[in-house]
Amino acid sequence: MLAEDGPAIEARVRHRLAALGVDHETIACDPDFADTAAFCARYGIPPEQSANTIVVAARKEPGIACACVVLATCRLDVNHAVCDLLRVRKASFATAEQTVERTGMMIGGVTPFGLPEELPLYVDSRVMAQASVVIGGGSRSLKIRLAPAGLLRLPGARAVDGLATLVPAPSA
């Protein structure tokens, strides 16, 4: 699968949000600032209100994968939590190419609302504790702000305690 062009994927994501009745706000984004740290710095979004959708794949079992939503202030626990959920011994972050192949979306724009339905979606409980979060909008030109409960409207989406660990703030 190739990455869908921005307007096509964005239209599909907006349609999915509307079909699920998810209240949201769209935020236009300069594609050069789509990666989380750059986006937060450029647009004044606190990292604890920014969430990433990360694709993870089993290393030895072809076709076994999932997507996980974690806050920018957290690190996804691939080796334990994700492997347990996928029931595999080893898994790793999907490469940019694998992410495009599985989702049709590029890193910096991956959104749960554009994922294939057969891909399980796990949302870290810290995401669910926020009043709102900013996630990818399907392309590197769009972000979406929504209440995290909207993520659980997706079929098969599940909130998971301990999916990610908090990254300690850098020392001054």
Give tens-digit pLDDT for 18-76.
999 999 999 999 999 999 999 999 999 999 999 999 999 998 888 899 999 999 999 99
pTM, two decimals, is: 0.93
Please state whether beta strands 51-58 and 65-71 pair in parallel, antiparallel, or not at all (unpaired): antiparallel
What is the distance between the alpha carbons of residues 22 and 133, in angstroms, rounded to a whole number?
A: 13
Tokens of 87: 């029931």
